[in-house]
Structure 1
Amino acid sequence: MFKKETRMSFRQILKSLEDGAKGAVAVAVACAVVGFVVGTASLTSLGLTFGSAILDMSGNNVLLALFLTMITSIIVGTGVPTTATYIIVATVSEPVLVKMGLPPLVAHMFVFYYGALADVTPPTALSAYTASAIAKCDPQKGTWQAWRLALVGFLVPYYFAQRPEMMLIVVKASYLQIG
């Protein structure tokens, strides 16, 4: 506002408020959908059934349960905002991970981390498409480049699960080790 060349006019301020309101509507709709999904999952016990399926398929193997939770987070996160992904997958998978011996904070962080990585995972990669639009580059190339750069990040949550002290969590001696 102090420099004349960067000062916004009244019309520009109104336009930015309009754009912000349009963006807020998209987030509100996504949150409403998440509310329906979480409500349906709790009323129909779909969340418990799906969580039990992860537990049964993993055969009490923590590493396999983490892998199945990762896949669930990425699939659910396809085209859904990160917060919505976290809410949905935390409702379904997080209780299973805690039941298998992971500290609750580690289980929540694991679910949230992969929900965030779903935003750079093809085919939708919402964050990568947005970044490509800002950078004015080809969205497909931007998406694949973002995914290649994020690949190393797919290992980080497993380190959190293996070594919760990385998250400054004091662990009991009976903590279930992954490897």
Structure 2
Amino acid sequence: MSNSEIPTLATERLVLRAPVMTDFAAYADFLASERSRYMGGPFDTKGAWLTFCHDVACWHLFGHGALMIDLRTTGECVGQVGINHGPLFPEKELGWLVYAPFEGQGYGLEAARALRDWAFGPGGLSTLVSYCDPDNARSIALAERLGARLDPDAPRQDPEDRVFRHVAGA
């Protein structure tokens, strides 16, 4: 799958597009910050690079992966939303991150809804989960606003994670 085959999704306020190399600096800054603690961070540059490459490689290996979140009005990148998969994820995971200056404006919800809808439509998936650290109240609230339901029996890599299940058509 080439970058031109990775979908570009548009919402009222956002454009979700394939990651490019110029996205790495802001992404690495986020992963180096304390804000990444809910996803196994903080990460050094090597860890951030491996995670960034995973996000891109998922498209080529599985037909789904991460998209960067740009504001339609300015083109500024405000975060990332993705479908994670592979040996680190027991199930396909819908995940999101929003850079600090842009939190609290609904961008994560809008982007996650768009990628979830793509996954359940053209992406051909019937279920997704979101793994949430039990202390990450904002991500838990976002998963619930997306309509995901707590699935205590779902497999998880981290036994402490709360798993929220998204089901097509729910």
For normalisation by structure 1, the TM-score amounts to 0.27
Q: Which has the higher strand share?
A: 2
Of Structure 1 and Structure 2, the greater helix share is in 1
Larger Rg computed on CA atoms: 1
Return the TM-score normalized by structure 2.
0.28
